[in-house]
Amino acid sequence: QKEVEQNSGPLSVPEGAIASLNCTYSDRGSQSFFWYRQYSGKSPELIMFIYSNGDKEDGRFTAQLNKASQYVSLLIRDSQPSDSATYLCAVNTNAGKSTFGDGTTLTVKP
């Protein structure tokens, strides 16, 4: 079992819809959780981070964390074609080590 698991996709949504991306992790000692967006051939770009259980909203993005279920998700509202990318979930331990999932590829169709 991988330490951080994501559905590889591809996930396809129409423009304007809500895209829902999910991530589970195995280390209960994980302290912080990050979502990155990565365009093909580029490096990861931080979208959001979340530390506490519950929801955190930033513009069209909402991160949700449930530590009891070891689950973190990212919702993208009003999806745009420019949101088409691979979304990486990363989990940090107290030592600062980041463990990444293999990403979910999102395609937003006009």
Q: HSE-up of 102 (CA within 13 Å, CB side)? A: 8
CB of 70 or CB of 93, closer to other proteins: 93
Among 51, 57, 58, 59, binds other proteins (CB under 8 A): 51
Considering only 11-19, 29-37, 57-65, 73-81, which stretch makes contact with other proteins by CB under 8 A? 29-37
Q: Identify the CA nearest to 38 among candidates 110, 109, 102, 108.
A: 102
Peptide bond into 44 cis (omega under 30): no
94 binds other proteins (CB under 8 A): yes
Confirm if 73 and 22 have CB atoms less than 8 A apart: yes
Q: Which one of 10-18, 66-74, 75-83, 97-105 is the stretch in contact with other proteins (CB under 8 A)?
A: 97-105
Cα–Cα distance measured from residue 60 to residue 11, given in angstroms and rounded to the nearest whole number: 18
- Residues 2-21, mask of contacts with other proteins (x by CB under 8 A): --x-----------------
Calculate the CA 64 to chain-centre distance. 9
Which parts of this chain interact with other proteins (CB under 8 A)? 4, 31-32, 34, 42-46, 49, 51, 88, 90, 92-103
